[in-house]
A and B are shown apart, each in its own frame.
Chain A
Amino acid sequence: MSVSLLLEMAASDDPDRTAVTSDGVRLTTQQLSDLADGGAAVIAASGAGHVAYVGTGGAALPVLIFASARAGVAFTPVNYRLAADGIRALIERLPEPLVIIDEQYRDTLGDLAPRLTTTDEFLTAARGAEPAVAEFPDPESVAVVLFTSGTTSQPKAVELSHSNLTSYVMGTVEFASAEPDDAALICVPPYHIAGVGAALSNLYAGRKMVYLTSFDAAEWVRLVNDERVTTATVVPTMLDRIVDVLETGGHELPSLRTLAYGGAKVGLPLVRRAMQLLPQVGFVNAYGLTETSSTIAVLTPDDHREAHAAAESHVAKRLGSVGRPVPGIEVQIRDEHGAACGPGESGELFVRGEQVSGRYTGIGSVLDDEGWFPTRDIALLDEDGYLFISGRSDDTIIRGGENIAPAELEEVLIEHSHVRDVAVVGVEDPQWGHAIVAVVVPAVGIDPDPEALRDHVRKHLRGSRTPDHVVFRDELPTTPTGKVLRREIVKDLGDLRAAPAE
């Protein structure tokens, strides 16, 4: 099954529906399909072995995904925010690529590859091309290759097959299930799995896609109201800024029904603020990885409301969970010896299902014999099957032989009124192995007392969890999608290692 089938079905079902709008461009499903056909011919004629895209996305993203699929060539959107060297290094890892680049990056990156064209040139050529006969690629062949953000290591090239992506879309989205007036606002970057997922799922659902290619919270609010947006997905840093704009501007978002957030952990005070500001909106927490073709678990609007209103602590706690697995996904928590953990026990999360790739270029598949993918996320399931993620296993702090998930402390510290944002890391310590450092972004206008914050943690968690040091910063380094760059924090804290923990 090819991802191209998703577009074929959308165009045959409702050819005149607006599929996408972006910076004044509007395409119906049929126009998108025609562009994809023409684009496939351009790609085929170039003789390229791969299509790479360096740009901000918008309508070009679905066009390129489907044009590549119809040409039977794998597609990679590259992070355009990287430095020129970084982009070059990623492009060099792709086989004989046709590089399609937004005009604004051409001057700095003009000589990336022998086959290079600007996005506008490509679209013009696609409009004029005789459509190629659509390929029906092997479902197991690679449709999209995405580079991981490389927060803990060198970026890895994740291979997503046609079968992985179509299984995800068909397993989680009912065809043409959207209402005629539904519109999704897409502001996640094109090189992120959520960007690829959005282009495929919304098309299949029959939901108009409205692109905001360069995120700005005020512009986001304006677009929601102008385009009568009904659903949107944001990463935590975006949610934080949107909530600020809503609070200071007194805006309402009457058309919005669903607001999904994901990509990194969101602090609960922010979720509560957003829910209070937008009581008519259903919030969705989506958890997934590049390697799993986007979402594998969702905390639904009903879950949010129930948890928010709950008196019982085990239900209230679920506001911090990522919900339950989507259809077609199995999850298993394993301890360090590989044995399955029971409810409430923390271990590494393994997942299995058709949408799970677990395959990397140059490395191959990392699935075990039974098809399980090790996510390297530390997680637990509660009695009712709600999944809680407490961070990457690489980030685990080992202090005095005890394993400590940074999230444990972060969840406590973020609830303190003097804390706006926080990351907890381990730095090398001669006595304890790791010393615990809480890196705190103070609430606006507050100069918190480190001792008071340590006391706050001591009150909620065992003594071994008390931070050895509390330091203050104006902001935390994050990726554009809101993942905290812990390696950079640790590097920045280098001088603390000289001072032994108490």
Chain B
Amino acid sequence: MIKNGTRLASQVCDTQVIVVKSADSLDDLRCGGAPMVPVGGERSSGEVDPAFAAGSVMGKRYVDEGGAEVLVTKPGAGSLSVGQTPLQLKEVKPLPASD
């Protein structure tokens, strides 16, 4: 299983994420339809799959049904999925500033 804190990059857009809560499902984490690879690792050239082109949003957390969670540290044109299943934007209840 991929480790918490691992940073991954899209092969087909600018998206980068960090793994907040790992799960086995993230072994098949994709962005823009292509498998995500370690940041700084080799990436193949390719295009964003139009089926996964909704984009990733900076600073948002995305989750799957198995409890996996990733945080977008660089936004991009591709959207996140595990296999063919899109990740969901994590709903957050806004808290008042307390620090």
Contacts and interface: CB of A to CB of B under 8 A. Distances in A.
A229 B98 CA distance: 14
Interface in B25-82: 58-61, 71, 73-74
10 contacts: A1-B18, A8-B73, A172-B95, A174-B92, A176-B59, A194-B99, A258-B97, A282-B96, A298-B98, A300-B96
Given A13-B58, A13-B59, A175-B58, A5 B95 contact: no
Contacts of B58: 9, 13, 175-176
Nearest to B39: A136
Give the secondary structure class of B's interface: loop
Interface of A: 1, 5, 8-9, 12-13, 139, 163, 170, 172-177, 184, 194, 197-198, 200-202, 205, 207, 231, 233, 258, 260, 262, 282, 284, 286, 294-295, 298, 300-301, 326-327
B59 A175 contact: yes
B98 A327 contact: no
Give the secondary structure class of A's interface: mixed
Given A1-B20, A170-B61, A175-B59, A260 B71 contact: no
Given A1-B20, A170-B20, A286 B98 contact: yes
A371 B95 CA distance: 25
Given A176-B59, A295-B99, A301-B96, 11 more contacts: A163-B5, A175-B60, A184-B99, A233-B97, A258-B97, A260-B98, A282-B96, A286-B98, A294-B98, A294-B99, A298-B98
B96 A260 contact: yes
Given A1-B20, A9-B58, A198 B99 contact: yes
List 10 tightest A-B contacts by C-beta distance, closest first. Answer: A175-B59, A286-B98, A197-B99, A198-B99, A139-B5, A231-B97, A201-B99, A1-B5, A260-B98, A284-B96
Contacts of A294: 98-99
Interface centre among A5, A9, A198 (most CB of B within 10 A): A9
Nearest to A206: B59
B97 A284 contact: yes
A201 B97 contact: yes
A172 B96 CA distance: 9
Contacts of A173: 95
A184 B97 contact: yes
Contacts of B95: 172-173, 298, 300, 326-327
Contacts of A286: 98-99
Nearest to B60: A175
Interface centre among A1, A13, A200, A207 (most CB of B within 10 A): A1
Contact of A327 (B59, B60, B71, B93): B93
Interface string B80-98: 0000000000001111111
Contacts of A163: 4-5
B97 A260 contact: yes
B11 to A, nearest CB: 20
A262 B74 CA distance: 35
Nearest to B71: A170
Contacts of B74: 12
A301 B92 CA distance: 18
B92 A327 contact: yes
Interface centre among B61, B92, B97, B99 (most CB of A within 10 A): B99
A70 to B, nearest CB: 15
A1 B4 contact: yes
A201 B99 CA distance: 7
Given A1-B18, A8-B73, A9-B59, A233 B96 contact: no
A327 B69 CA distance: 15
A163 B97 CA distance: 21
B90 to A, nearest CB: 10
Nearest to B93: A327
A174 B97 contact: no
Contacts of B59: 9, 13, 174-176
Contact of B97 (A8, A139, A205): A205
A215 to B, nearest CB: 16
A294 B73 CA distance: 24
A301 B95 CA distance: 10
